[in-house]
Amino acid sequence: MWIDTHCHLDAGEFDIDRTAVVARARAAGVQQIVIPAVAAENFDTVRLLAHAHGFAYALGIHPLYVMRATEADIAALDEALTAHRDDPRLVAIGEIGLDFFVKSLDVQRQQWFYLEQLKLARRHRLPVILHVRRSADQLLAGLRRIGLDTGGIGHAFNGSRQQADAFLGLGFCLGFGGTLTFDRSLQIRRLAAELPAEALVTETDAPDIPPQWLYRTAEERAAGASMRNEPGELPRIGADLAALRGWSVDEAARITRHNALRALPRLAALGASAAVTGSEAVAGPAPGPAPAPGPVVGPAAAAAAGR
């Protein structure tokens, strides 16, 4: 059984068929999904979705959203972590990190939100799910500066082998998803093939980062073709990982699942409860879609970076 360690199930792209998306994922063999928040306004959304479907969630402020966030959002995150500290489905702080690809983002502002959230992870003794985009060295520097020892996952890792080893040395696993299915993704495929087995976890970042078989040309997209990724694609992505490693598909599922449970220890307690749909619905407003980035970072930039 597979664990998707990173899926934005609350995204608006899933509003039309979210229940069917979950059913397809389960039918494909995806046992557990981690739903990370991206902004204070979707903290409740991801929590409610996780309980409604028997999944896990993380709370944090994504670097693409910090331009419209305020210090009050850090306080809100601290309050939410405190209020739900006994919730077994709250498994991490995330998605947090740094994005140095989108040039319109203020670097100092990103750094401040990143470091403040690392402090909360240290205080609440939770692992972190990191957004890593042309920022591995700066992320590592922040981890060392704050002295975080709870580990976590470097989501959609695309750095060097030296940077990968540095994350592993700090107790992290590294997330691999649809990008490794492209033959031209030479560095990512090399890392997926050569890193220690205990380094690897699987993810989709759905609805973003589609695998090769979902890719559509610009002309096809202009004509209305969709590239929406789904958590149900994870076993096929995992099969590509298995081929790179020389593993069987069952070995890939077992190894990456074990790694995910080590990186996010609270997942282990959820186990078979992920197979129960709707048994833990939480009273409150119906979940809404993930908030769109503010005007500084438009939807195109967000899609390019993944979430």
CA pseudo-torsion sign 65, 59, 180, 32:
negative
Instruction: Please check whether residue 11 lies inside any domain of the structure.
Output: yes
Phi, psi of 185 (to 5 degrees): -85, 65
More confident residue, 53 or 284: 53
Q: What DSSP string runs through 90-131?
A: EEEEEEEEEE-SSTTS-HHHHHHHHHHHHHHHHHHT--EEEE
Question: Is residue 286 one of the residues assigned to a domain?
Answer: no
- Which structural domain range is residue 134 located in? 2-278
Q: Within a domain: residue 251?
A: yes
Structure pTM?
Answer: 0.91
Tell me the pLDDT tens digit for each residue of 178-195.
Answer: 999 999 999 999 999 999
In a domain, 303, yes or no: no
The answer to whether the CB of 270 falls within 8 A of the CB of 50 is no
pLDDT at residue 147 is higher than 80: yes
How many domains does the chain contain in total?
1
Q: What integer pLDDT is reported at residue 271 of this predicted model?
A: 73
CA 98 to chain CA centroid, Å, is 14
Distance between CA atoms of residues 173 and 130, nearest Å:
10
Which CATH number characterizes residue 258's domain? 3.20.20.140
**Per-residue pLDDT band at 290 (split at 50, 70, 90):** low
Q: Would you state the pLDDT for residue 117?
A: 98
User: In angstroms, rounded to a whole number, what is the distance separating the alpha carbons of residues 128 and 199?
Assistant: 15
Give the per-residue pLDDT at 307.
72
State how far the Cα of 280 lies from the Cα of 224, in Å rounded to an integer: 37
Residues with Cβ within 8 Å of residue 131, at least 6 apart in sequence: 62, 63, 64, 95, 96, 97, 98, 99, 155, 156, 305, 306
Q: Is the pLDDT of residue 272 over 80?
A: no
- In tens, the pLDDT along 195-247 reads 999 999 999 999 999 999 999 999 999 999 999 999 999 999 999 999 999 99
Mean pLDDT of 290-294: 54
- Identify whether 106 is part of a domain: yes
pLDDT given for residue 278 in this prediction: 42
Does 295 map to a domain?
no
Minimal CA–CA distance to 277: which of 1, 52, 8?
A: 52
CB–CB of 196/168 below 8 Å? yes
Query: Using one digit for the tens of pLDDT, what is the confidence trace for 55-112?
Result: 999 999 999 999 999 999 999 999 999 999 999 999 999 999 999 999 889 999 999 9
**Long-range contacts of range 85-89, CB-CB < 8 Å, 24 or more positions apart?**
85/124, 87/47, 88/266, 88/269, 88/270, 89/47, 89/50, 89/51, 89/55, 89/56, 89/57, 89/266, 89/270
Residue-level pLDDT at 53: 97
Contact (CB, 8 A) for 110 and 63: yes
Task: Tell me the average pLDDT of the chain.
Answer: 91
Q: Within a domain: residue 283?
A: no
Q: In what order do the strands lie in the sheet with 90-99?
A: 2-4, 30-36, 56-59, 90-99, 128-133, 152-155, 172-176, 200-202
Determine whether 72 is exposed, middle or buried from the number of CB atoms within 10 Å of its CB (0-12, 13-18, 19+): exposed
Question: 76 lies in a domain?
Answer: yes
d(CA 61, CA 93): 9
Q: What is the pLDDT of residue 135?
A: 96
